[in-house]
Each structure stands twice: as structure tokens, then as C-alpha cells.
């Protein structure tokens, strides 16, 4: 590898903590990633040295803040290979980005009898907005079922996608199971019938490169905090043809060109969708996170993550009372222990300084489909995790088994 993981870990101050008397083993990255020092520095620099509102003002600080803010938009556009920075909209995160599309497209371009297609493995953020659209418009929500491996059934998807399919909304990577969905194939199938396509990329962008042009999707949504940036900042990529047609998501300052008491003219995208004072510091720090990632050998880091995944799966396979759910491929491994509540196991791991997550992982329909009433234990990686972290988790499970 061209990257020394132990050296890289020094960029993440949180990882040096002692928790419950043990070195922290942080394996909850699917919930949020830790932040490297350059991102923390970017936040501090904005608030300490250039704190001002962006756009419109003519003074020096505002000019500096505006340049940094819009430069971050350009960095994100290059990061996901968007054709133009004007196709990058700042949001609070993936959830708001999906809701923006549900409002702007779903409630204004879908009609009774149109079909919206999602999958069984979706996060609630890519289920509930479409339920609301269906209730408001009379559209019909359809769901791609699982196959025997808990992945998406492409054969069934082929039957479900038809001339009535108006919109496909699909997760790139399952946050609950770590399975990579065949989004390129599904997008191609949807485009063949003229359907609009949205990809929830929250669990993808922090693990491997994403090219929205290669995918061919109309929209791509993701959150900053799952790719080493702060919480409260996210991105919606949208093709310009849709951004120009969609009505504003919210209204007020910043998103207007001209206002009278009789009429308002809206700004051009992306500003049409960014009402009010934005999360300036968050956007700038997201730009810093992009810089940080672009300065690393991401392919080498992905191989490192895959090696950690293989190590964990081998270790769990040797435990006859542990069952891994699905076929994890990126980021996360979900598992259950016979007759043991996931929360009990996670509590014993926390006592050993090991941070994992339990429950339904905001994917209750998936857990119901898999017959997992109490959900799972989920260990989720980032590139700063080590083989020692995996060994600590496996040893921690062994110790918990003795107590349980």
C-alpha cells in the first residue's frame, strides 16, 4: 500500500481516545465517520478568520467566504464527476436531498397511476418521502424484493420496471448489510422505459469513487458526515434539465432574482434550491474532506477495507453461534448471535471500548423481510480501521460469549 494506515490514523484525533479503560475501536462508521485534522482546521479557519455571510455583500470577509464556499461546490462536482458545479445543490444531508426531489419531482411531475420503484433494502429516508408522494398524488409505490442472498432480485426488478414506472429511487450501498446494489443495471433498465432515477449514495462516497455521468442517474444524494465532513451538510446532484424544471424546495432569501409584492422571479440553479443562509462552514469543510480524500490512494484504501472485511467474515464464520446477514461487500457487516439480543452484545463490546451499532439501522422493512425482530449488530469500517481493530472485535465477541 502507498498509505501507511498507522500514520494516517494520526490525522483523526478522536481515534486516540481511551474508552472504558480500553483504546477506542471505532466500528460505527456507517452512522458517521470521524473527522481528519484538515477538516477540523477548515471549520476553525472559517469561524476564526473569515466568518461572514456569502454572496451579495461587497466587503472583504464576505468575498473570502463566498470564494471558499463556491470553490467547495466545484470540488464536489469534480469529486463525483458532475458535468457542472451548477448541478451541485447544498442540502443538510441525504435525507433532505431525497425530500427535495420528492417535492420537486414527485409532487409536481407524478400523477395517479404512475409507479415509483424502490427496494426492500432502502433506508427509511428513501422510503417515507415516496410514501408521502404516493399518498399526495395517487402514484403507486412498488418494491423490488430480495433474492436468496438478501440482495436485490434483478429478475423481479425486470418485471416491475415497465411503461408505468415513472421514478426509480435506489440505494447505492445498503447501510444495514453492506451490500452493493447493482445500480448501474437498474438505472439502465429504468432509463429504457423513460423513468427518472435517483441514487442514495450516503454509504458509497466514503468508500469508493463515484461517477454520476457513468451511472447515468438523474439525481445522486449523499451526506458529508459519512465521508469525513461535518454533520448538517450534504449534496444533491441533479441533471440541469431537471433542476431547471423543478420548482423551489423552500422560498425566502438567497433563492430569488427579483421580488415585488405581486411577483417573484427565482434565481437559476443551484441557488434556486438554497433558500436562506446556508451551512457555509459545513460546505467549506466538506470541500476540505474532498481535498483530503483526493490526496489519498483511494484504490489502495478500498483494498485495505476489503481485507478488513474478509478478516472479520472469516473470524465470524468460525463462531457457530454467529450468523452473518447477507453478503457484505462494502463498509458494513451485520450479524446476530443465537438467542442473544443485539443490544446486550453491543453493551458488552462497549465495555471493552468497541463501538458498534445495533437495531434496525433505519431499515425496518428490510429487517422484517429477513425475520429479524430485534435487528442486528452492525460493525462498519472506514479506511482508518486496522487489522488490530478487527482482532479486538472478534476477541470482544468471544469474551461476550463467555458472559452470555
**Angle made by CA atoms 144, 145, 149, in degrees to the nearest 5:** 130
- Asked if residue 203 lies in contact with residue 253, where contact means CB atoms within 8 angstroms, the answer is no
- Asked if residue 173 lies in contact with residue 203, where contact means CB atoms within 8 angstroms, the answer is yes
Identify the active-site residue in 193, 267, 362, 404.
362
- Asked if residue 121 lies in contact with residue 179, where contact means CB atoms within 8 angstroms, the answer is yes
Q: At a CB cut-off of 8 Å and minimum separation 6, what does 147 contact? A: 153, 154
Q: Say whether 362 is catalytic.
A: yes
Q: Where are the alpha helices (DSSP H) in 295-382?
A: 298-317, 342-350, 364-369
Q: Which residues pair with 197 in a beta bridge?
A: 168
Q: Where are the alpha helices (DSSP H) in 26-59?
A: 37-49
Residue whose C-alpha is closest to residue 176's, from 395, 394, 329: 329
The set of cell numbers assigned to 203 is 454509504
Q: At a CB cut-off of 8 Å and minimum separation 6, what does 377 contact? A: 334, 335, 336, 337, 342, 345, 346, 356, 357, 358
10 Å Cβ neighbour count for 81? 14
**Angle made by CA atoms 62, 277, 103, in degrees to the nearest 5:** 140
- 213 CB-side CA count, 13 A: 10
- Determine if residue 4 is left, alpha or beta; phi over 0 gives left, psi from -120 to 50 gives alpha, anything else beta: beta
How far apart are alpha carbons 41 and 18 in whole angstroms?
A: 23
How far apart are alpha carbons 119 and 126 in whole angstroms?
A: 9
How far apart are alpha carbons 49 and 232 in whole angstroms?
A: 21
- CA 72 to chain centroid, in Å, comes to 18
- As annotated, the active-site residues are 362
Amino acid at each position: 500500500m502507498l498509505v501507511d494506515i498507522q500514520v494516517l490514523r494520526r490525522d483523526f484525533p478522536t481515534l486516540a481516545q481511551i474508552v472504558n479503560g480500553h483504546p477506542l475501536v471505532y466500528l460505527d462508521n456507517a452512522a458517521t465517520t470521524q473527522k481528519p485534522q484538515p477538516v477540523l482546521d477548515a471549520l476553525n479557519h472559517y469561524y476564526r478568520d473569515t466568518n461572514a455571510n456569502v454572496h451579495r455583500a461587497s466587503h472583504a470577509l464576505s468575498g473570502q467566504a463566498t470564494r471558499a464556499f463556491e470553490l467547495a461546490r466545484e470540488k464536489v462536482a469534480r469529486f463525483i464527476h458532475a458535468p457542472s458545479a451548477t448541478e451541485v445543490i447544498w442540502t443538510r444531508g441525504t435525507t433532505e436531498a431525497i425530500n427535495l426531489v420528492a417535492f420537486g419531482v414527485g409532487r409536481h411531475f407524478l400523477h395517479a397511476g404512475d409507479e415509483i420503484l424502490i427496494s426492500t433494502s432502502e433506508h427509511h429516508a428513501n422510503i417515507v418521502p415516496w410514501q408521502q408522494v404516493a399518498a399526495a398524488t395517487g402514484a403507486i409505490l412498488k418494491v423490488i424484493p430480495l433474492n436468496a442472498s438478501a440482495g436485490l432480485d434483478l429478475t423481479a426488478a425486470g418485471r416491475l420496471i415497465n411503461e408505468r414506472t415513472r421514478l426509480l429511487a435506489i440505494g447505492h450501498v445498503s447501510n444495514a448489510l453492506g451490500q452493493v446494489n447493482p445500480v448501474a443495471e437498474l438505472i439502465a433498465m429504468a432509463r429504457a422505459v423513460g423513468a427518472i432515477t435517483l441514487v442514495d449514495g450516503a454509504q458509497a462516497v466514503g468508500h469508493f469513487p463515484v461517477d454520476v455521468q457513468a451511472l447515468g442517474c438523474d439525481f445522486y444524494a449523499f451526506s458529508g458526515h459519512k465521508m469525513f465532513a461535518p454533520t448538517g451538510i450534504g449534496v444533491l446532484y441533479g441533471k440541469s434539465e431537471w433542476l431547471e424544471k423543478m420548482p423551489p424546495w423552500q422560498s425566502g432569501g438567497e433563492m430569488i432574482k427579483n421580488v415585488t409584492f405581486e411577483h417573484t422571479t427565482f434565481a437559476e440553479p443551484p441557488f434556486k434550491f438554497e433558500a436562506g443562509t446556508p451551512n457555509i462552514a459545513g460546505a467549506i469543510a466538506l470541500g476540505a474532506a474532498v481535498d483530503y480524500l483526493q490526496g489519498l490512494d483511494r484504490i489502495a484504501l478500498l483494498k485495505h477495507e476489503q481485507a478488513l472485511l474478509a478478516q472479520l467474515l472469516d473470524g465470524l464464520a468460525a463462531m457457530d453461534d454467529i450468523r452473518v446477514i447477507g453478503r457484505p461487500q462494502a463498509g458494513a457487516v451485520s450479524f446476530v448471535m443465537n438467542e442473544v439480543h443485539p443490544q446486550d452484545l453491543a453493551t458488552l463490546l462497549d465495555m471493552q471500548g468497541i463501538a458498534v451499532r445495533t437495531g434496525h439501522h433505519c431499515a425496518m422493512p428490510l429487517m422484517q423481510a429477513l425475520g429479524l425482530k430485534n435487528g442486528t449488530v452492525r460493525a462498519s469500517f472506514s479506511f482508518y480501521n486496522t487489522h488490530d481493530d478487527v482482532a479486538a472485535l472478534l476477541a470482544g465477541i468471544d469474551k461476550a460469549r463467555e458472559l452470555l
